[in-house]
Structure 1
Amino acid sequence: MGWVDMTYLLGNHESEGIKKLNSFRDELKRIKWVKGDEIESLSLVFNALDALAEEKLQYYYGRRKRQALLSIVFRSLGWAAGFVGVVLPFLSDHQFSFDPNGKLGYVFLVAAASFLGANTLFGGTSGHVRYATTQFKLEQLVVSTRLDWLFYKSRVSAGECSSKEVGEGFEILQKYSQEFYSLVIGEAGDWGESVLEELVNYQRSVDKKSKLPDGS
């Protein structure tokens, strides 16, 4: 169906995120936990988890860019339509033929409001800010956790590790996964609240206009 991937819309498309999650599962299956190879086994887990975080980081970067473009388009159209709507009445006053009845300007002003409303309803600007914030928080988490892991590997013994050292490694992995998914779940919650709020506001504005005399 043209550029729209119907398998993606219907949920039959295996996304990059699902592939990474399956890869994470397969990586865990390869780990043998042989005595003396604890650090290597932990490193496999860390690398697989880190790949999941990096994939989500790329996702937020792409979403941020798309929402930024959406915001620019809607705001630019809104500004242009508003400018034309303000200028047209002045041109009609000077006997130009652009708007002889002086009403076309109102059409452009309504269009300007519609473009700016669409920017809000579809989360152009707010979505860009939300995705950018989540991306930067996730970047901070990835960088700081990689440094923590590097420090951990530098101080544990090269051979067999103690139970305490293995436990410390798992603590880093658990903290990484928990903070990573807390960020993702938090962003999804913010997105849902934002969409519902804008839908309610839009419905209120429609109801308010419908109650005006002659729908005006």
Structure 2
Amino acid sequence: MNSRQESVRVLIVDDEELVRMALRLVIEGEPDLTVVAEAADAESALAAAEELRPDVVLMDVRMPGRDGLSTTRELLGRPAPPRVLMLTTFDSDELVLGALRSGALGFVLKDTRPAQLVDAVRTVADGHPVLSPAATARVIAAATAPHSAHSRDTSREAARKRLSALTARELDTARAIADGLGNPQIAERLRISVGTVKAHTSSLFAKLGVENRVQIALLVRDAEH
């Protein structure tokens, strides 16, 4: 991964030309971000990623033909994969859930404000998840809907076994994440500092073998539902 003194290399993947154009304008308006290529479909995205080795792939969830979910899975299965930030309009929660389970570092709405979008790209480039509390809550709600395929996929017992490795305070933190709380809100609920929340969250990533907060939340919901 590039250091912060170097430009973060971004590949934009979206089937809509106007969306790609708007994203390019936003990203290339920042001195530390560079768009190395655009792709309108999965095959072009995979080829561009192989040739250009971007740091971050901004991936549309839904595209004609092969969708962003399967494309993300293939990208993340390759050696030294890029970081993937999903684009969604929130009419495709199931696909987003699958991508997050596969290791994508987060997702942003297509109508996200430019400043928030570039911050999200930088955060993902540094290896950190980008999941707002509101977005987390909405995705978790989709995952635990009565007819959700994802709510049936993961064994309750398997999730409980993974969570059994946590300390009581780490489990409290995991449950607060599952409720869609951000770090300041978790700190207030548990009466600890934000720094301690961050430490517990880092421990959760390591102990549970997950990449982002939604994966933590899904484990909690799988164990308790």
| Shorter-chain TM-score tier | under 0.3
Kindly indicate whether structure 1 or structure 2 has the higher relative contact order, using CA contacts under 8 Å at least 6 residues apart.
1
Could you tell me the TM-score, scaled by structure 2's length? 0.25
User: By percentage of residues, which structure has more strand?
Assistant: 2
User: By percentage of residues, which structure has more helix?
Assistant: 1
Q: Mark the structure with the bigger radius of gyration.
A: 1
